[in-house]
Structure 1
Amino acid sequence: MDPSPSAAQRRLLDAARDAFGAKGFHGTTTRDIAAAAGMSPAAVYVHHRTKESLLFAISLGGHEASLRALREAAAAADTPTEQLGAMIRTFVLGHTTDHTLARVVNYELAALAPEHRATIDALRHDIQQLIRGVLADGAATDEFDCADVGMTTNAIMGMCIDVARWYDERDAWAPERIADHSARMALRMAGASSGR
């Protein structure tokens, strides 16, 4: 995706994100996206050759932003316990405050073309390895009592990602509260010494 999209491109990406979030990739037409963006269907093709390329641009931007935010959260903390807490808080906040984007990038993966799916899978692997690395560091120093780092990584990631599926801004739970609760749950799952 262009690192600095034009106003028209941004409008188009936002319209596609909202349409995919509401109707799913296969339930959305290019005409739906064009209408929501205030463009003609022909204008969509000036920026993106296919509906799938729009999905890829949205997914790429979302995954790159998540990876960047997680790296920053980890770098700002000192111990594995602090790092894991900060990372999960950050990850879940992203999945609540921009839950439509999070739903699209996590639940429309099957609609990506194979070469685009490979790019996104590599980013998802990097995110997974970042969390796994912090868990492994904590286990190595006995800060975490984590018998299976790989399985715990998958469980924590699944918990974080799934927030986008059930979160509703009309509920009483604020994003910050959900993020804090998720961070505490992740630390328990890791067997953090502070929770034992």
Structure 2
Amino acid sequence: MTDTAQRLLSSATAAFAAKGFHGTTTRDIASGAGVTPGAVYVHHKSKEDLLYSISKVGHEKTLDLVRTSAAASEGGSPVSRIAALVRNLAQWQAANHTSSRVVNFELPALSEDHLSEVLQMRHQVEDEFRSIVNDGMQQGVFRVPDANMAVVTLLSLCIDVARWYRSDGRLSAAEIGEHHSLMALRLLGVEGR
């Protein structure tokens, strides 16, 4: 990727996070990247194509993080596995809060084909969580009435960090991850946590 293309992606990420997709113009993106508006179209077919690139990379990184976290804790108890998974995902959302806001909350602006591709990755993330929640329920260590709703709740807990987290806030990204992993265990009805 050229330096200009990377600057355009960075500028688009910052602009989409600050103004939303529909509130951002290609002129905003070009200005932030230090190029003319026409340069946007040299590197991307459209503003939506920029959003798709940001969203695709963000979802690929999230899926990789979730799979790596799940694999690293494989063989451990469902309690330790879900704690690690939530800790890592919440921390990542905080550490990457600007791009995460775009990746997670600008999905409606994607074209139907692009949205379909991104949603497949989101479903794979859900499947990783669901596998651990189901294991915990079968072993009797997680006490929730509905595994699917538990997964939605856990993912919301992690993903929403990007909406409110600020680097200059009271807690670091790592502290947010620790806090959220403890809250996840309480949500799942784990005793003694």
State TM-score, norm by structure 1.
0.93
Give the superposition deviation at 1:8. Answer: 2.1
CA distance in 2 between partners of 1:46 and 1:88 (Å):
39
| Aligned equivalents of 1:155, 1:72: Cα separation in 2 | 21
- Compute the displacement of 1:143 (Å): 2.5
Task: Return the offset for 1:6.
Answer: 2.7
* C-alpha deviation, 1:46, in angstroms: 1.3
Match of 2:97 among 78, 96, 99: 99
Q: Which residue of 163, 175, 183 corresponds with 1:185? A: 183
Letter in 2 for 1:22: A
Matches within 5 A, 1:47-196: 47-77=43-73, 78-195=76-193
Structure 1 stretches of 4+ moved >3 Å: none
Check the 8 A contact 1:67/1:126 in 2, yes or no: yes
Equivalent position of 2:31 in the other structure = 35
Unpaired segments ≥5 residues, structure 1: none
Which amino acid is the alignment partner of residue 163 of structure 1?
A: V
| Cα displacement (A) at 1:96 | 0.6
8 Å CA contact 1:30, 1:51 repeated in 2: yes
Match of residue 17 from structure 1: 13
Residue in structure 2 matched with residue 8 of structure 1 by the alignment = 4
- Aligned Cα root-mean-square deviation (Å): 1.2
1-structure distance, mates of 2:129, 2:116: 20
> Aligned-pair distance for 1:136?
0.4
Q: Which moved more, 1:42-51 or 1:184-193?
A: 184-193
1:44 and 2:45 are equivalent in the alignment: no
User: What is the DSSP-based 3-state SS (H/G/I as helix, E as strand, rest coil) of the residue aligned with 2:160?
Assistant: helix
Matched residues in 1 for 2:78 and 2:3: separation? Answer: 41
Matches of 2:182 and 2:2 in 1, distance apart? 40
Residues in 2 aligned to 1:194 and 1:129: alpha-carbon distance in whole angstroms: 27
Per the normalisation by structure 2, the TM-score is: 0.95
Counterpart CA distance in 2 for 1:30 and 1:45 is: 9
Amino acid at match of 1:35: S
Give the secondary structure class of the aligned counterpart of 1:158: helix
- Distance across 2 between alignment mates of 1:194 and 1:132: 23
How far residue 115 of structure 1 moved from its aligned partner, in angstroms, is 0.8
Count of residue pairs brought into register by the alignment? 191
CA distance in 2, matches of 1:7, 1:91: 29
Sequence identity, in percent?
Answer: 41
